[in-house]
Amino acid sequence: MEENTAILRARRFLQAHNVTSAPVDVTVLAQAEGFEVKFKELPEGEAGSTLERRGKRYILVNEQDPPMRQRFTILHEIAHHVLGLPSVHGQASEPHDSVLTTSIKRPTEEVACDAFASECLVPLAVIKPLIEGQPFGVQTVAELARRFGASQHCVASQFIKASEDCVAFVVAEQGRIKLAFPSPALRAAGVHLLRGTSVPHGCAAETALSAEDGAVRTAESEGSDWSHSDAAERFSVYEEASFYAPRQQTYSFLTLEALGPAQAAEGASSADEDDELLPELTGELTWKPRKR
């Protein structure tokens, strides 16, 4: 099953259950689908599974996992049932709270169920009005993560999908870019982000990685630092990054701004501002530059 199909099915599922706000009540959804949710001691690394016993169906959730993770697990298990996809859980394919980190290796059934779970936990229709006018950054995503009861990773990826701006979410492990997820606008602009390479030298992710303290770092860079696409050259990049200790990863929140005619004019006007000081210094210039 294609990821997009799973996402469309998730939207239909949310509609059928009248889910229109956050946080989504995952236990109620499980019950509505005929499952009782049980928190159990499960082997390390196993997030959850389903079980049928004496005519009753259960979703078992690892009681050791953090609540956000458990919420995702419950939705992932519901997805197996709703999508009619058999579980192919194994050591390397346990439910993940983002389709981003694992879509390369995971079986397609599991990827589809993750996509379904992400869309249910952070529905695009619910997050879209919330991000209007909000910058794509650490603070916004952290607040939304609390509101949705979802991981920052999951929120960031849904934010990117819903955003109309040129933004991107980049996950790096040990300084190597593992995933780079551009917004639709950035894709449309023809900017393809680099993957598998080291993060750009001097970027915020690099600083965040070496500090390992979880503090937010910021940096400015060029579009061409993050992409080899020709189109990237007309963008400047503002980056916020933080280190996520549990996975030894850095998250980079990129906002790209086109260096179009508007930017050129801005550059010119800041030069004028410098010139403005000249009259006082030399007394020769008497005109006032017009500011935009």
For Zn ion, the binding residues (CB under 5 A) are 87, 89, 110, 113
Residue 70 DSSP code: H
Q: Side-chain half-sphere of 189: how many Cα atoms within 13 Å? A: 27
Closest by CA to 172, choosing from 193, 155, 190, is 193
Judged by beta carbon, residue 3 or residue 165, the one nearer Zn ion is 3
Q: Are 28 and 74 in contact (CB under 8 A)?
A: no
Judged by beta carbon, residue 87 or residue 227, the one nearer Zn ion is 87
Judged by beta carbon, residue 110 or residue 240, the one nearer Zn ion is 110
| CB 14, min distance to Zn ion, A | 19
| CB 93, min distance to Zn ion, A | 7
Tokens of 28: 């109620």
| CB 209, min distance to Zn ion, A | 31
| CB 139, min distance to Zn ion, A | 32
Q: How far lies 210's CA from each of 137, 242, 243, 254, in Å?
A: 20, 11, 9, 19
The set of residues, in sequence order, having a beta carbon less than 8 Å from that of 191 and lying 6+ positions away, is: 166, 182, 223, 227, 229, 231, 232, 235, 256
Judged by beta carbon, residue 46 or residue 240, the one nearer Zn ion is 46
